[in-house]
Amino acid sequence: MKNKKTLVIWAAAFVVLIAGAAVLYGQLSRDAAPDQLEAADEPQVTEEEGQAQEQEKLKAPDFSVYNASGERVGLSDYFGKPIVLNFWASWCGPCQMEMPDFEEVYRERGEEIHFMMVNVTGGRETLESAQEFIAEKGYSFPVFYDTESEAANTYAAYSIPTTYFIDSEGYLAARAVGAIDKESLEQGLAMIAD
């Protein structure tokens, strides 16, 4: 009987230790999380022959995808307003986690900023599975389908989700690899707002 009681006490202590470690890990990882946004167009000053020169901003490479109506459109068709370019798939858990924030911000600011939610269509993802996912969740942001992998290859979006922030003139401002929250999304939008 004494052995059972000792075993129960040790098991309870182990459970408390594991739970405490999980809470501590969660808190520390939140506090130590690096800024997910990597600036793409911060002009850097270089010295050449004694004169300071500013490096040029990086133009966002163009690509073609299909909109929900099946029409072929290019990224450059959307220059003129800031663009949030997001690569995602319906089977991607981190993509699913960030989409409610994208939907909320799109509803708030969709008139002033283009949202291009590019589905990486192919392989595990079909056009039908992507469309069913969007309909099931009731998302209203614009969805585009990269059925030929042109956009994903152009932007090296091999890890999804990946998000790019492009200013109204078509220059890359920042990118984030991995799921982002509303705060990071707003931070990226602040970098491209006119």
**Whether residue 75 sits in one domain with residue 21:** no
Query: Would you say 137 and 104 are in contact if contact means Cβ atoms under 8 Å apart?
Result: no
Q: Residues 152-164: pLDDT tens digits?
A: 999 999 899 999 9
**Whether residue 141 sits in one domain with residue 85:** yes
- Coil/strand/helix, residue 185: helix
Q: What are the strands of the beta sheet with 172-177, ordered from one edge?
A: 38-39, 172-177, 162-166, 83-88, 114-119, 143-145, 64-66, 72-74
**Whether residue 54 sits in one domain with residue 24:** no
Give the per-residue pLDDT at 34. Answer: 40
Across the range 109-122, mean pLDDT stands at 95
As for how many domains the chain has, the answer is: 2
**Whether residue 27 sits in one domain with residue 2:** yes
H helices present in 33-126, as ranges:
93-109
**Whether residue 29 sits in one domain with residue 50:** no
Across the range 84-88, mean pLDDT stands at 98
Q: Residues 20-66: pLDDT tens digits?
A: 445 444 444 443 334 576 776 444 444 555 554 445 789 999 999 99
Q: Confidence band (pLDDT; 50, 70, 90) for 174?
A: very high
Does pLDDT of 96 surpass 60?
A: yes
**Whether residue 160 sits in one domain with residue 107:** yes
Q: Which residue segment(s) compose the domain that 43 sits in?
A: 38-192
**Whether residue 104 sits in one domain with residue 50:** yes
Strands 72-74 and 83-88: unpaired
Distance CA 111, CA 53 (A): 37
Strands (E), 98-190: 114-119, 143-145, 162-166, 172-177
The pTM (predicted TM-score) of the whole model is 0.75
